[in-house]
Amino acid sequence: MKDFILDLVARGELAVVKRPVNPCHELAAVTRAVQKAGEQAVLFEKVGGSELPVISNLYGSHERLKRLIGAGECSFCERWIELTDACLASRDADVLEQASSDVEAEFVSGTLSDLPAITYHGRDAGPYFTSAIYLAREPDSGVPNLSFHRSMYVSDTELRVRLGGTHDLARYQAKAESRGQPLEAALLLSCPPEIFLSACASLPYEASELNMAAQIAGRKLPMRRCKTIDLEVPASVDIVVEGRFVSNERRPEGPFGEFMGNYVEVGDNHVFEVTHVSYRRAAVFHGLVCGSPEDLRPLEAVTAARIYRHVAAQVPGIIDICCRPNVMITIIKLKVQYEGHAKHALLAAMGSYLDYNKVVIAVDEDVDIYNLDDVMWAYLTRGRADTRAMILNDIPGFYRDAKKDHWGRLAIDATMPWGRAAEFVRKSIPGEDDIDLREWVDRGSGHERET
C-alpha cells in the first residue's frame, strides 16, 4: 500500500485531508465529494477513534485500473484475459514463496478496535469492513480463494459476514459445515493492487486467485504464516484478521447500503470468530464506499472482460466492451461487417453472464463506450427507436432477486443502418483536438472587462 500511495502522489492523483474527520458518515461524505470532483484517491490523515489513517477511491479510475494491470495500449479486457490465461496455466509452487524472516518484525499485534470503525450510510447497522477480502482454502483440495464479503463489526471477537450463495467461499463454508467443522479464514485489509484486483477475478472453482495476483504483480508472492490458524497470507498485506467461520451459526446482520444503491435489510448471516489481529506499523486502512466508483469500476471491468471473451469467441469484429456506469449494463463496440452483425453480438452478450446483462447496447467503432451520453446519442440519432430495441420478457437476472426486479432483458442496436455509413459520419472541427486552452484563455490576470 505504501508503494501504491507514493506512486499516486508522484502522479498528482492523491487528495489529502489533514483536518480530523468523523468515521461515522463524515468520512464517507467527504469521499463521495472527492469522487464527484474527479478520480483522485483521498487520504484522511486524522480519523476519529484510531491512530491509522484511511485511504479511499484507490480504484475509482478505469485508466488507473489499466495501468495497474499493465494494459499499455491494449484494452482492459484484452490484458485481463491474458493475465487470466497465464494464471490458469500456473501452479502455486511456481508463483508463491516464503517471505524473509525479518518480515514478522514489521507487524504488531492488536485488536479490531485499533482499526478505523467506519459507518458509511445513514441506515447501516454500524461500522463495516467494506474492502474485506477473505482468504480461505478449499477443504479438500487446499486451493486458496480470495473474495470480497462485507463484514459488520460486532465486537473485537466477532464479525457478521454476508457470503453470497454463488461465491466459492460460500461453497467452502458449506462443505466444512456439513462435516460439523469451522472454516478457517483470514480477512485481508489494506492490500496492494495485485491482491485487491485478483479478488475481483472470476476464476474456475479449482483455480487460485493468489496465482492471478502473481501474474498481475509480475513476480512471485512472498507468503507468511498466520499465528492462530493454519493458513499463509501474502506478506504484502498490511492488516490481517485471523479467525474462523463458526459452523451452524447465523446471526442478524444489516441493514447495509449495497452496491446497487439501496439497502439490503437485516438477515441472518455467517459468524466470523476473530482469533488474532496484526498490522504493519504505520499501516494505512483502506475504506471503500460501496456502490461508489471505487466499488463499481473494478467490478465493471472484470465483468466486461468475461463478456468480451465469450462474445469475441462467437462474433467477429469485437473491439471493446464495457459495463458502466453500472455492472448491470453491457456496451459493445464493434466494427460492423454485415447486416444484423450487431444483433448477433447482442445475443451473444446476453448469454455470456446470466447474473448481469440486464441492458445490452451495441455501437459503432467511433462511439466512446465509457461515456453513456455518447452511447445514447448514437441510439437517438442513428435510426429508429422501436425496431432497434428488443425486449425479452421473464428472463431470470441477478441471483439475489427474490422479487424478480432484475428479470427481463433489453437489447439495443445503436449502430448505423447497414450500408448507410456515409450518411452518419460525425461532423468535426479541424484542429479541435490540438487546442491547448492554456494558450488561449486568461484564467488569472486580474484584469476586469471594460464596460
Are the CB atoms for 39 and 23 separated by under 8 Å? no
Model confidence at 224, in pLDDT bands (50, 70, 90)?
very high
Residue by residue, DSSP assigns 393-407 as TT----SS-TT-TT-
Model confidence at 397, in pLDDT bands (50, 70, 90)?
confident
Model confidence at 449, in pLDDT bands (50, 70, 90)?
very low
* Mean pLDDT score across all residues of the chain: 93
Looking at residue 146, its amino acid is: L
Burial label, 339 (beta-carbon count in 10 A; 0-12, 13-18, 19+)? exposed
% of the chain residues with pLDDT over 90: 83
Which domain range does residue 403 map to? 315-428
- For 340-369, b/e burial (b = at least 16 CB within 10 A) is ebbbbbbbbbbebbebbbbbbbbbbeebeb
Say whether both 132 and 266 belong to one domain.
yes
pLDDT at 101: 87
pLDDT at 445: 52
> Residue for cell digits 472484470?
302
Q: What is the SS3 assignment for 306-325? A: HHHHHHHHHCCCEEEEECCC
pLDDT digits (tens, 9 = 90+) for 313-371: 999 999 999 998 888 999 999 999 999 999 999 999 999 988 888 999 999 999 999 99
Count of structural domains, the chain: 2
> Residue for cell digits 466494427?
335
Nearest to 90 by CA among 213, 177, 193, 195: 213
- Distance, CA of 130 to CA of 201 (rounded, Å): 17
Say whether both 156 and 262 belong to one domain.
yes
Cell of 124: 447501516
Cell of 67: 495501468
Say whether both 263 and 324 belong to one domain.
no
pLDDT at 294: 95
- Angle between helix axes 209-217 and 76-88 (nearest 10 degrees) is 120
% of the chain residues with pLDDT over 70: 98
* Assigned domain for 49 exists: no
Least reliable range by pLDDT among 24-28, 172-176, 259-263: 259-263
pLDDT digits (tens, 9 = 90+) for 126-140: 999 999 899 999 999
pLDDT at 127: 97
Question: What residues form DSSP beta bridges with 153?
Answer: 159
3 state DSSP class of 3: helix
pLDDT at 450: 46
Say whether both 272 and 327 belong to one domain.
no
CATH number at residue 387: 3.40.1670.10
Looking at residue 20, its amino acid is: P
CATH number at residue 265: 2.30.110.10
H/E element, 221: strand 221-225
Q: Mean pLDDT, to the nearest integer, of 182-200? A: 97
pLDDT at 356: 85
Say whether both 328 and 226 belong to one domain.
no
Are the CB atoms for 135 and 231 separated by under 8 Å? yes
**First-last CA distance in the chain:** 55
- Distance, CA of 125 to CA of 339 (rounded, Å): 53
Say whether both 139 and 260 belong to one domain.
yes
pLDDT at 303: 95
* Assigned domain for 35 exists: no
Q: Is the pLDDT at 444 greater than 80, yes or no? A: no
Are the CB atoms for 272 and 160 separated by under 8 Å? yes
Say whether both 340 and 382 belong to one domain.
yes
H/E element, 33: helix 26-37
pLDDT at 146: 96
Q: Is the pLDDT at 165 greater than 90, yes or no? A: no
Are the CB atoms for 154 and 201 separated by under 8 Å? no
